[in-house]
Amino acid sequence: MSVELLCEKSFSNEDLEIVDRFVEFQQALIDADADKLDDILLDDFKLTQIPNRFQTKIEFISDIKDGSLKFSKSDIMNPTILFDDNSSASLISKVRLTAELNGKELRWISNTVASFRKIDGIWHIVEWDQ
């Protein structure tokens, strides 16, 4: 698997659901699985790559599908889950990513915040601030 969860603590219940969903999201990025990404990301999803640089769900998935952005590795380091209420939460973690952007390989560690919303019992990502 190209996604590794680097963490000594164990998760249970809703925390585990969110961590698993984020791992699934990262793997879908690596697999360039547009259908899976469409399922995980809400329609109003917003990606913040750098301050004042945003992408919508459609733009982000398009970059993955056309190969201009190819993820190859993700290490999720010591995630913490914070709940706003029963249907919204955030995963906060350092994430070491390896990707190819327009033919150039990049590696970086991001201070990630992924915002989740629970709809019909399933956690979806509404925002990814990387």
C-alpha triplet 115, 121, 125: angle, nearest 5°:
20
Report all structural domains of the chain as residue ranges with CATH numbers, in order of start. 3-129 (3.10.450.50)
pTM: 0.94
Q: What pLDDT is attached to residue 57?
A: 97
Q: What pLDDT is attached to residue 103?
A: 83
Give me the residues of the chain with pLDDT under 70, please: 1, 51
Q: What pLDDT is attached to residue 52?
A: 76
Q: How far, in whole angstroms, is CA 40 from its chain's centroid?
A: 9
Q: What pLDDT is attached to residue 1?
A: 63
Distance CA 118, CA 116 (A): 7
